[in-house]
C-alpha cells in the first residue's frame, strides 16, 4: 500500500462538528487499495475501558485519480473524543493514529497516540440556515439593472456605451423592487446586491458613508422597501460589505490627511508617517488603487465600528447577511468578531467571503459560513472554455469537482456561493465563444453541485461582456432580444434546486468515456445529471446527447442555440443592449 497517501488530521476538513455531540470524520486513502475502514473511538477519559470503545464502519464517499475518501458520522455521549482508524487492505490490517501507520496498536497503552478532539465548542459548528437550502441567488449591479432615469441629472451613460466606473445608467433600488415579479418567476430566492452605500462611483466599492444608502439608488427608504417586498415573496437580501477599504474622501481618512497623528483615526489605516500622501503612496491601498486606502482591520476600533455596521443593517432594515469584499485581506480577529456580531443580530444571517483561492482556512466555524466558489468557476471554464487547463475531459473534470468538495466540510460546501461569473469577470457566455449550449450545461453542473447557485444578472437571457467593466452592461428589458430557451433552462433548474435531493442530498460524481454523471440523493428523492463533455454527439444508457448537451433524470433538456451545431445564436450583447 502507498502509506504516504493515507491522511487524516484532527481539524478542517477532516473533522466537522455537526452538533455539540456529533462529529463527522474523513479519511483519505490511496485509490483502490483500502478494502474497508473503521474508526475505533471512545470518550476521551474512557478510552482505557475496553467496554467503552466503539467501532463504526466508514463509507467511501468519493474518489479521484489518486485517492479514495471515507467518512463516518459519530453520535457521542460526550463532547470529547479519542479515536484511531483500522484499515483493511490486501496485505492485512493497518492502524492509523497520530503517530502514523502501524501493523499493530496497543489499545491499553496507546492513549497518547490516538487522535483526539479535546472538546467540541459552539464556534466550531457550522449551521446551515434552512432558508439557504434549495435557494438560488441572483446578483445585481444596481446602477445597470433597472431604473427611472427621468429627473436624474447624473445619468451620463447610454445603453451602447462601454461601462466605466464613472458611468451612471440610472438604475436604482426601486427598479429592483419593480422587477421582483420577474425574479420570482425565474425562481430566485435570494438577492445579492453589489454595494449600495454612499459613494462617488457607480460601482460603489469606494465607500464614503457606511450608514447611508446612496441617494442615486433611492436612499435608506428604498432599501427598506426592497427588503420588505422581497421578504413577502420569500426572498432574502444580501448586502456587499466593503470593509477592507474605503474612498480616500471618506471622512475618517480625510481627517487623517488633515490632522495626521492628531486624528484618532490615524491607526485605522496603514500609514507610513504622519499624513497620507497620494504622490508618495505612503499608505496601503486596495490593489494598486490610490483612492481606496485600506483599513487596519487588526485595530480594535475598526473592528468595533464595522461590527456595529454589520448589525445595524440586519437589525434595522432586515438584511439577511453579508458578502465581504476582499475578505482574505481582513484580519481573522475582525472576521471572528464580525461573525459574533452578525449572528447575535440574526443567527440565520449568512456571511460569505470573496476568496478567489482555497477558502478552507476561513471555514472552520468561527469566521465565514461560505465563500464565493471560484474553484468551481475555474473548473467549469477549464471544461467549457479555452484556458491553460482546457481539454480536461470528463475524468479530469470529475476529479476537479471531487477535490473541491474534499477541501471543505459538508456544511461549508452547502453554504458556498457557486457562480459562473460576476461583476469582476468576463461573462461566461463570452468566455465560451457565444455557445449558449455550453453555458446551459455549466448552469446544470452548478445547480447540481452543493451550495447556493448564483445567476449574474442578464446571464439567463444571454448577455455577453468582456472583463470588468465590460461585464457590467445594462439589462435589456425588451424580451424580444432574450434567448428564451436559455432563460427557460435556468428557470427549470431553479425549480429543480428546491427538490430535497439537490437542496440537501449526498452527491456522487462519476465519469465514463466522455460522459459525466452527477447523482444527488436524499431519502427517497434521487436526481441524476448526465452531461456529454464532448464536442461530438454521444450516447450513454440509451440517451443520445448533442455536444455539451445534458439530461436530468433521463429528460433531455431542449438544446439552446449553439455555435457548435451552426444554428443562429440568440444572445444579448451588453454593448448594444
Residues that are catalytic: 325, 354
**Does residue 465 contact residue 472 with C-beta atoms inside 8 Å?**
yes
Kindly give the residue spans of alpha helices, DSSP state H, lying in 272-330: 300-315
- DSSP category for residue 285: B
Cis omega (within 30 of 0) for bond into 32: no
- DSSP category for residue 203: S
Cis omega (within 30 of 0) for bond into 501: no
What crossing angle do the helices spanning 300-315 and 332-345 adopt, rounded to 10°? 30
Task: Identify how many contiguous H helices and E strands the chain contains and give both numbers.
Answer: 13, 29
Please give the C-alpha separations between residue 41 and each of 50, 114, 560, in angstroms, as whole numbers. 10, 9, 53
For residues 441 and 381, what is the distance between their CA atoms, to the nearest angstrom? 11
Please give the C-alpha separations between residue 539 and each of 40, 90, 108, 513, 544, in angstroms, as whole numbers. 45, 37, 57, 10, 4
Please give the C-alpha separations between residue 172 and each of 194, 218, 221, 501, in angstroms, as whole numbers. 12, 6, 12, 37
- DSSP category for residue 376: H
Q: Which among 510, 505, 321 has a CA at the least distance from the CA of 414?
A: 505
For residues 256 and 284, what is the distance between their CA atoms, to the nearest angstrom? 14
For residues 166 and 168, what is the distance between their CA atoms, to the nearest angstrom? 7
Beta strand ranges found along 284-395 (DSSP E) = 321-324, 350-353, 370-373
Cell of 102: 502501524
Residue indicated by cell numbers 429528460: 555
Residue indicated by cell numbers 450516447: 539
Please give the C-alpha separations between residue 564 and each of 127, 504, 532, in angstroms, as whole numbers. 44, 35, 13
For residues 374 and 81, what is the distance between their CA atoms, to the nearest angstrom? 35
Amino acid at each position: 500500500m502507498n502509506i504516504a497517501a493515507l491522511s487524516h488530521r484532527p481539524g478542517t476538513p477532516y473533522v466537522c462538528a455537526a452538533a455539540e455531540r456529533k462529529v463527522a470524520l474523513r479519511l483519505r486513502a490511496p485509490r483502490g487499495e483500502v478494502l474497508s475502514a473503521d474508526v475505533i473511538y471512545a470518550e476521551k477519559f474512557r478510552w482505557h475501558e475496553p467496554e467503552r470503545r466503539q467501532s463504526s464502519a466508514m463509507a467511501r464517499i468519493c474518489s479521484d485519480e489518486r485517492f479514495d475518501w471515507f467518512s463516518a458520522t459519530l453520535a457521542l455521549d460526550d463532547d470529547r473524543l479519542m479515536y484511531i482508524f483500522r484499515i483493511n487492505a490486501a496485505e492485512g490490517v493497518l492502524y492509523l493514529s497520530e503517530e502514523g501507520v502501524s501493523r499493530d496498536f496497543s489499545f491499553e497503552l496507546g492513549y497518547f497516540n490516538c487522535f483526539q478532539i479535546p472538546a467540541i465548542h459552539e464556534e466550531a459548528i457550522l449551521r446551515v440556515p434552512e432558508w439557504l437550502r434549495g435557494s438560488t441567488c441572483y446578483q445585481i449591479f444596481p446602477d445597470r439593472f433597472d431604473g427611472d432615469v427621468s429627473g436624474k441629472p447624473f445619468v451620463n451613460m447610454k445603453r451602447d456605451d462601454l461601462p466605466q466606473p464613472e458611468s451612471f445608467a440610472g438604475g436604482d433600488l426601486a427598479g429592483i423592487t419593480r422587477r421582483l415579479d420577474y425574479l420570482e418567476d425565474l425562481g430566485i430566492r435570494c438577492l445579492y446586491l453589489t454595494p449600495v452605500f454612499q459613494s462617488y462611483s457607480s460601482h460603489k466599492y469606494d465607500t464614503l458613508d457606511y450608514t447611508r444608502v446612496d441617494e442615486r439608488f433611492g436612499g435608506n427608504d428604498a432599501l427598506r422597501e426592497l427588503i420588505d417586498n422581497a421578504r413577502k415573496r420569500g426572498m432574502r437580501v444580501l448586502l456587499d460589505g466593503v470593509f477592507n477599504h474605503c474612498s480616500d474622501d471618506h471622512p475618517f481618512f480625510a481627517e487623517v490627511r488633515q490632522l495626521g497623528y492628531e486624528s484618532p483615526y490615524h491607526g485605522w489605516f496603514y500609514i507610513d508617517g504622519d499624513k497620507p500622501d497620494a504622490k508618495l503612496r505612503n499608505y496601503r491601498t486596495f490593489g494598486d488603487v490610490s483612492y481606496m486606502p485600506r483599513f487596519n482591520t487588526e485595530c480594535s476600533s475598526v473592528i468595533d465600528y464595522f461590527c456595529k455596521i454589520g448589525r445595524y443593517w440586519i437589525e434595522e432594515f432586515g438584511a439577511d447577511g453579508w458578502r465581504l469584499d476582499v475578505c482574505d485581506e481582513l484580519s481573522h480577529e475582525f472576521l471572528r468578531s464580525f461573525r459574533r456580531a452578525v449572528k447575535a443580530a440574526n443567527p440565520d444571517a449568512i456571511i460569505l467571503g470573496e476568496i478567489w483561492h482555497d477558502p478552507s482556512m476561513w471555514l472552520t466555524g468561527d469566521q465565514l459560513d461560505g465563500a464565493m466558489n471560484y474553484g468551481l468557476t475555474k473548473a467549469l471554464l477549464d471544461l467549457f472554455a479555452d484556458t491553460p487547463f482546457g481539454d480536461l475531459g470528463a475524468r479530469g473534470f470529475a476529479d476537479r469537482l471531487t477535490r473541491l468538495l474534499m477541501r471543505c466540510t459538508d456544511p461549508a460546501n452547502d453554504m458556498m456561493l457557486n457562480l459562473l461569473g460576476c461583476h469582476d469577470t468576463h461573462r461566461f457566455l463570452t468566455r465560451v465563444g457565444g455557445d449558449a449550449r455550453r453555458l446551459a450545461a455549466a448552469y446544470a453542473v452548478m445547480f447540481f453541485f452543493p451550495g447556493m447557485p448564483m445567476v449574474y444578472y442578464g446571464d439567463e437571457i444571454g448577455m455577453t461582456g468582456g472583463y470588468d467593466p465590460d461585464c457590467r452592461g445594462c439589462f435589456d428589458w425588451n424580451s424580444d432580444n432574450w434567448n428564451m430557451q436559455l432563460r427557460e433552462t435556468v428557470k427549470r433548474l431553479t425549480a429543480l434546486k428546491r427538490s430535497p435531493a439537490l437542496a440537501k442530498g449526498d452527491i456522487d460524481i462519476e465519469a465514463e468515456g466522455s460522459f459525466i454523471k452527477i447523482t444527488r440523493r436524499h431519502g427517497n428523492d434521487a436526481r441524476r445529471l448526465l452531461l456529454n463533455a464532448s464536442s461530438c454527439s454521444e450516447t450513454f444508457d440509451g440517451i443520445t446527447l448533442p455536444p455539451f448537451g445534458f439530461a436530468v433524470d433521463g429528460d433531455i433538456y431542449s438544446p439552446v442555440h449553439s455555435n457548435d451545431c451552426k444554428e443562429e445564436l440568440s444572445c444579448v450583447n451588453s454593448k448594444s443592449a
